[in-house]
Amino acid sequence: MQGEVAEAIAQKVRLKLTPELKARLRQTPEVNPEAFQAYLRAIPFDPYRRQEIEKAQSYYKYAIQKDPGFVSAYVGLARSYRNLGQFRWLAPQDAYPPAKQATRKALELDGKDCGAHGMLAWLAWRYDWDWQTGEREFRYALELCPNDAGIHWQQAYYSGWSGRGVEALAERAKARELDPLLPNLLLCGALINYHLRNYKAMIEVGRQYVASDSNSWLAHHFLGVGYDGSGQALEAIPEYKKAVELSENDQDPTAALAHAYAATAKREEAKKILRQWQHQAETSYVSPYMIATVYAGLGDKDEAFEFLEKAYREKSSDLPYFLKADLRIDSLRSDPRFQNLLRRMDFPK
């Protein structure tokens, strides 16, 4: 019945359904009601805050316990591990292998689940550094679910990172067309402009983002990056501070704050952040890439490259994501060691 209702709605709103999608709608498997309730409870939690991610994760695990064949719960579990790794609450080796395991299980159960293929694409991109598989899986996810706004925004995000700005903006426009209320549209715009280093546009999007959600740490962070990249480090500092506060000390805005401090002759404040991280690293994970950005801001290139190499050895998901666009390491780009690192990363052309 659910499949018939979904198809009827799609016809009413004039969505174009491929024969494959029609077949999938009619073959929707039964899900244990308790498992489905747990899954629904997980969805509203904020995917950008540690405690919220962990709460969602507990519901996904419960859903799998109640229904080991529930594909979407495995995708949700993979996403929770991915988010814990992406925001550095877990070390790469503790976050991404279980994310891959959950993704593989989802694909064993349903080899054509677009969410699972989207997750496989992300892991290939950020953890395996396998650009070809990432590209292929993102595109296959779009083929499977051409009307899924979330998949289009993920493709926009990846295309922006790849330097394909026109394609990225087209995918974002498609996501907006499919779902004008998609919460991630402003975030998507900020991410695209970040990778294109369009800081003027980042300020514009960042202001809109803060106006729409003043409690979003990402909104304040990207507004800060826009100011920083435009040569307005003093204006960036309060935005970075707000992002650090709202994010519960996420390392990315913290490193950005340290960079802005160093750029405005507040070197002792930047060094204080390094000392705090040294203490924190005794009990929890601190990204070597983020440490490298602070040393770069302080002008200590040797230390910066030492930590970039550490990030390379541990397969940090920060390294492929930030290396090409990050303004915090611009002082390193002319160094032969940086060019050597770029060659080893072998980014897609």
**Count, residues in the chain:** 349
| Domain contains 281 | no
| Domain contains 313 | no
| Domain contains 105 | yes
Q: Give pLDDT tens digits for 136-164.
A: 999 999 999 999 999 999 999 999 999 99
Please indicate, yes or no, whether residues 92 and 178 belong to a single structural domain of this protein.
no
Q: What is the C-alpha to C-alpha distance for residues 71 and 73, in angstroms, rounded to an integer? A: 5
Nearest CA to 78 out of 55, 48, 114, 104 is that of: 104
CATH no. for residue 50? 1.25.40.10
> Does 1 have pLDDT greater than 90?
no
Q: What is the C-alpha to C-alpha distance for residues 115 and 71, in angstroms, rounded to an integer? A: 9
Nearest CA to 321 out of 332, 334, 311, 313 is that of: 311
Number of domains in the chain: 2
Q: Give pLDDT tens digits for 63-109.
A: 999 999 999 999 999 999 999 999 999 999 999 999 999 999 999 99
Amino acid at 316: S
| Domain contains 83 | yes
Q: How far apart are the first and last CA of the chain?
A: 47
| Domain contains 317 | no
Q: How many Cβ atoms are within 10 Å of 254's Cβ, its own excluded?
A: 21
Please indicate, yes or no, whether residues 64 and 75 belong to a single structural domain of this protein.
yes
Calculate the CA dihedral of residues 121, 127, 128, 132 and round it to 10 degrees.
40
What the block records as the tokens of 341 is 């690192």
Q: What angle do CA 135, 141, 142 make, to 5 degrees?
A: 95
Nearest CA to 54 out of 35, 76, 32 is that of: 76
> Of the residues 196, 216, 232, which one is the last residue of a structural domain?
196
The predicted pLDDT at position 25 comes to 47
Please indicate, yes or no, whether residues 90 and 155 belong to a single structural domain of this protein.
no
Please indicate, yes or no, whether residues 110 and 81 belong to a single structural domain of this protein.
yes
Q: How many Cβ atoms are within 10 Å of 44's Cβ, its own excluded?
A: 9
Mean pLDDT of 327-348: 96
Do 171 and 155 meet the contact criterion of CB atoms below 8 Å apart? yes
The predicted pLDDT at position 182 comes to 82
Contacts of 292 (CB under 8 A, 6+ apart): 303, 304, 305, 306, 307, 308, 311, 329
Q: Give pLDDT tens digits for 297-328.
A: 999 999 999 999 999 999 999 999 999 999 99
> Does 12 have pLDDT greater than 70?
no
Q: What is the C-alpha to C-alpha distance for residues 166 and 250, in angstroms, rounded to an integer? A: 31
Contacts of 336 (CB under 8 A, 6+ apart): none
The predicted pLDDT at position 183 comes to 77
Please indicate, yes or no, whether residues 135 and 69 belong to a single structural domain of this protein.
yes
Please indicate, yes or no, whether residues 142 and 152 belong to a single structural domain of this protein.
no
> Of the residues 157, 177, 196, which one is the last residue of a structural domain?
196
Q: What domain range is 45 assigned to?
A: 31-146
